[in-house]
């Protein structure tokens, strides 16, 4: 599946499959990355993907690396709040 994604980074079927696969493995950051890519590139739903979400993914990744890092939690909360 990863080779298919490397060959065509915006293949909607591959992005969705990778997102679901990572969700099933409880890998939130990776799942969000692929599902956001699917949403952003989808011809029908692409306008629903806010650009600010990308920043939230970085904070989520930081929290995966260091779950007790308070500043990352605060920044992620601010990032989500700014999307509204």
pLDDT attached to residue 5 = 81
Q: Where are the domains of the chain?
A: 1-46, 50-84
Phi and psi (nearest 5°) for 51? -65, -30
Contact predicate 64/44, CB 8 Å: no
Residue range 32-77, pLDDT digits in tens: 889 888 988 999 888 776 666 566 777 777 788 888 988 878 877 7
pLDDT attached to residue 45 = 84
Residue range 23-32, pLDDT digits in tens: 999 888 888 8
11 pLDDT tier (thresholds 50, 70, 90): very high
- Picking from 58, 61, 84, 63, the residue whose alpha carbon sits closest to that of residue 73 is 63
pLDDT attached to residue 16 = 93
Quick check: 20 pLDDT over 90?
yes
Q: Token pair 């650009």 is at which residue?
A: 51
């Amino acid at each position: 599946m990863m080779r298919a994604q490397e060959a065509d980074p915006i293949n909607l079927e591959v992005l969705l499959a990778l997102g679901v696969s990572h969700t099933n493995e409880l890998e939130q950051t990776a799942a969000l990355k692929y599902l956001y890519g699917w949403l952003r590139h989808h011809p029908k739903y692409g306008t629903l993907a806010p650009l600010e979400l990308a920043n939230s993914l970085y904070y989520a990744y930081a929290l995966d690396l260091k779950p007790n890092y308070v500043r990352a939690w605060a920044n992620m909360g601010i990032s989500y709040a700014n999307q509204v």
